[in-house]
Structure 1
Amino acid sequence: MAQIDLEIHSRILSVVKTCEKRGLSALDVISDVVSSVIRKQSYSDMFNLIKTESSHLW
């Protein structure tokens, strides 16, 4: 397997594991991202990784 194939495989598995932990459908998340990329649109922050002003309230 080429290095790039291993990197893609690793990233997909990471998304799948994260979806499992968060109770999300990996197929839905990956499909949404791929569809957005094909349409050349931005995709949402599926895992809420981007901090917003409201997330800084303690």
Structure 2
Amino acid sequence: MPVSERESVTDEIVKLSQEFEKLAEHLFVAKWQQTPFSWLQNNVPKGWVALNMDFAEI
């Protein structure tokens, strides 16, 4: 839901840059996790099962 705020452009840019830092960290972690999992999916040894479980963060 949109929220009206009366802050300076500088303050808004600082907030936006902080959000971009969080996004950059998230993208790094996602890629870091995806790379070995993708490799494992394509190289599961015979007789093994690859199990993917997701534990949501609150």
Normalised-by-shorter TM-score class: 0.3 to 0.5
Structure with greater helix percent: 1
- Name the TM-score, length of structure 2 as normaliser: 0.40
- Name the TM-score, length of structure 1 as normaliser: 0.40
Max Rg structure: 2
